[in-house]
Amino acid sequence: MVLAPNRMVRVPRVPATGKPPGRPSLKPHSPVTNVRMGGMETGRTMRYSLAAVLWLAFTFSGHAQSLAERLAQQHPEAAALTIRVAAGLKTKGNYSQIVPIIAQQLSGTNITVVPDESTGSFMSATGVCLGFDEAAIVQRDAASERAHASDRNAASCLGKYVSIGKPLYPYYGFWVVRADSPYSRASAQIGSIRTGQTLNVAAGEDGSGGQITLKNLLASDPRWKSAVHPTTDGGTAALRLLRDRNIDAFFLMDDSSSAMVEQSIKGEVDERGRPIFKFLAINPPSKFFDLKDWTGRKLYQPEKLAGGWFGGISTISVDAVFIVSKSWWRHDAASRAAADELGHALDTAEPAIRAATRTPTGWVPASETR
């Protein structure tokens, strides 16, 4: 059949299936407009063909991802993360016991904690403040001292770190003298010093927990401050000086299970098997217990050590706390998640930590008291 020239023919609408026979389309319901027969236009046919090619390319392309693949991209496996924890000397419990206990709680996660040696709590807090370590276990008073950097040529670290989790255990004050000393209280020994005389008391290296706590003790009573001369001897060196009567006392802050207390002090005996050292009660003025940390929490509380070798003496305690760098914690989502995981591990490890440090059942941290 021959159509007359310039005769208009209306082509039926595209079926509901979306594809006219032999002509795939990306616009299934678009009506086909008039086509002038005679000088027949081919643009519409070319568009149908191009749409079909694109549809087939999209459908069978190797770039298409499955739902499982797309979900995996939304929740990728967390990258391994190593957290350095400043933990004092290798011979002390934080390094050899507490960090490994925390590490055990994090087994099976992407987080690894490793201890980093320091000379004491002040240096540990400094390492976290300056970004050398991500975390540290320190005395709360040392962290507070470093935050304000009082009496030291150091930049302020206020706001550079925060404590996470609950306090770990108590650091107790131990005032050690020779067993033949006539005194039973540190205040009595200090009170015996005449004008112009001094009491030489070793308290560990500069920046150690012992030095910082002793500084606060002396500041609480002018008579104590004028009578006591702190020295930077510590550990077995301080005990040797005390045994040889070259110093008058040795002050340290430690947990009651430490090797220094259990072996070096309690275990030291003379040729007749008698103890060489003993502990004096520490009974500071009430002003001492009013001191607050960098967050406004109470620093110290009075304690009484168990009977037996200690004889139930009175002393003081300060909390051991776990601090983390604020800049690390806020760095990214991975660090924030790691800090949360650390806090959970600390709480879970609490029974093991308190057993390792022989913390009394029912112990309440000083920072949680009024």
Tell me the mean pLDDT in the region 281-298. Answer: 93
d(Cα 94, Cα 101) in Å, to the nearest integer?
10
Burial class (CB in 10 A: 0-12, 13-18, 19+), 231: middle
* Domain map (residue ranges) of the chain: 170-320
| pLDDT surpassing 80 at residue 227 | yes
Tell me the mean pLDDT in the region 211-222. Answer: 95
pTM of the model: 0.76
Render pLDDT for 293-337 as a digit per residue (tens, 0 to 9).
999 999 999 998 876 666 678 999 999 999 999 999 888 888 889
Specify the pLDDT at position 156. Answer: 81
**Is the Cβ–Cβ distance between 123 and 94 less than 8 Å?**
no
**Is the Cβ–Cβ distance between 284 and 220 less than 8 Å?**
yes
- Report the percentage of the chain scoring pLDDT > 70: 76
CATH superfamily of domain region 170-320: Periplasmic binding protein-like II (3.40.190.10)
Q: Euclidean distance between the first and final Cα of the chain, in Å? A: 107
| pLDDT surpassing 70 at residue 52 | no
Paired tokens of 136: 């540290």
- Return the minimum-mean-pLDDT range out of 36-45, 93-102, 107-116: 36-45
| pLDDT surpassing 50 at residue 189 | yes
Specify the pLDDT at position 308. Answer: 61
| pLDDT surpassing 60 at residue 44 | no
CB atoms within 10 A of CB 141: 25
Tell me the mean pLDDT in the region 278-282. Answer: 94
d(Cα 282, Cα 183) in Å, to the nearest integer?
12
Render pLDDT for 156-180 as a digit per residue (tens, 0 to 9).
899 999 999 999 999 999 999 999 9
Specify the pLDDT at position 5. Answer: 47
**pLDDT, greater one: 35 or 119:** 119
Contacts of 113 (CB under 8 A, 6+ apart): 82, 83, 84, 85, 99, 102, 103, 106, 135, 342
DSSP 36-90: ESSS---HHHHHHHHHHHHHHHHHH-TT---HHHHHHHHSPPPPPEEEEEE-S-T
Tell me the mean pLDDT in the region 73-78. Answer: 54
**Is the Cβ–Cβ distance between 92 and 139 less than 8 Å?**
no
Contacts of 247 (CB under 8 A, 6+ apart): 200, 201, 202, 231, 233, 238, 241
Specify the pLDDT at position 276. Answer: 94
